[in-house]
Amino acid sequence: MRIFLLFIVLAFSTVFAADTPAWKVAVKLSSAKVWQRQQVILSVEISTTDEFARLETQPLEVSDFEIIELPYSASKLDESKAERVIKVGWILFPLVAGKHRIELPRIYYRPSSGQKKKLKLAPQTLLVKSLPSYVPPTMPIGKVQIKNSLAAGKIGRLHNTKTLTNWNINVITNGVLPQTIPPILRQVKSNLALEVLPETITQNAQKSFSGLKNITQYQLPIKALKSGRLALPELSIQYFDPQDNKLKNVVSQAPTHWALNLYLQLLLGSLLILLLLFALYKTFKFINRRMAKQQNIRNAKDKIQQAKNATELRSALNNLSQANGWQANLTLKQWLNHWQNQHGENKMLASAFSDLQSIQFENNSDTNIEKIKANLLGNI
């Protein structure tokens, strides 16, 4: 009887175990060897087939570290599969060099049914290197970018003097401890040509398991006090790149904009109007000349069509040469050379001129005139 009951208990245990969703846990450290103040990402991940399982964690506390907790994450490995990855994590910034033992806080896996389970996680070891002596304690460690732009003026990049314009400056950092982002506006000061007014600052910190990205946006109202190029300073930030292990300097120059007072704008506008009128006048004259030339060419071709003898044909060709801007009274050879220099060699036209050359002094020159006229009109 006891053996039978034991068999039943084992059978039910096997069935229950087969229905329990499978899961496995992993602890990940983005790097085990870093510089001081370099970003390190510590995460605890569980792959599970339980659709509603969750992780519960207590805060992570480690001395000599700045710690930023990451938002809880749950995602599917593959849409076609039921397996999910749930994870918790932290961004760590080690402040002190040396070998650090990181004890993970209490983390529980809570399945959709049954009791939550405390995870048994091994401590993580992190070796932190001292920064080189030439790196000051306030220098950013990570990646830094600067982007800046100016709001459009009255006409594109042209502004009125003594009128407010917004200068937008974005400082973008990746993996940088927020309090080490330098105050870039110290590089911008009022002067005799530029007035700088109090700025508006907004910050957007994006925390993910890829790291910390921080965007600091400065909206800086400025006012040009003199006409000329807006004298905006070049912006620069020096930082230490932990990937390349060296100092770098990022530089950004605002696009060129100009400021003009009212009198200069009126003068410039007047000059532009005069230039436009002059261009229109030149264009009109050019079109008029082209139209007159085309009309003269058509008239000359009509005279060729109406010619009754070689003398009238020579006169029509003389009109055509004048319409093309050539010399008057060209010989037939000179006329042909001018035409072929502009339009290329033409054997049919050369043949027509040869025929015209042979009959131009004959009394009965009208015998072949129609053939010559047709050849000329077909090739000029």
Query: What secondary structure does DSSP assign to 111-157, as a single string?
Result: -SSS--EE-----EEEEEEPPPTTS-TTS-BSEEEEEEEE--BTBBT
pLDDT of residue 366: 54
With CA atoms as reference, report the closest residue to 316 among 327, 303, 328: 303
Q: Output the average pLDDT for the chain.
A: 85
Distance CA 374, CA 106 (A): 105
Q: Mention every residue, 6+ apart, whose C-beta is less than 8 A from residue 290.
A: none
Query: What CATH code would you report for 143-260?
Result: 2.60.40
| Same fold: 19-129 with 143-260 | yes
pLDDT of residue 79: 66
Reply yes or no on whether the pLDDT at 225 is more than 70.
yes
pLDDT one-digit tens code per residue, 306-363:
877 777 777 878 887 777 878 777 787 788 787 778 788 887 877 877 877 777 666 5
Using only C-alpha atoms, the chain has a radius of gyration, in whole angstroms, of 44
Q: How many residues does the chain have?
A: 380
pLDDT of residue 126: 96
Minimum mean pLDDT range among 16-20, 270-274, 367-371: 16-20
pLDDT of residue 1: 53
pLDDT one-digit tens code per residue, 210-223:
999 999 999 999 99
What CATH number matches the domain at 19-129, 3.40.50.2000, 3.30.70.20, 2.60.40.680, 2.60.40.10? 2.60.40.680
Q: What is the value of pTM for the model shown?
A: 0.67
With CA atoms as reference, report the closest residue to 99 among 130, 60, 120, 145: 130
**Domain locations in the chain as residue ranges:** 19-129, 143-260, 273-377
Q: State percent of the chain over pLDDT 70.
A: 91
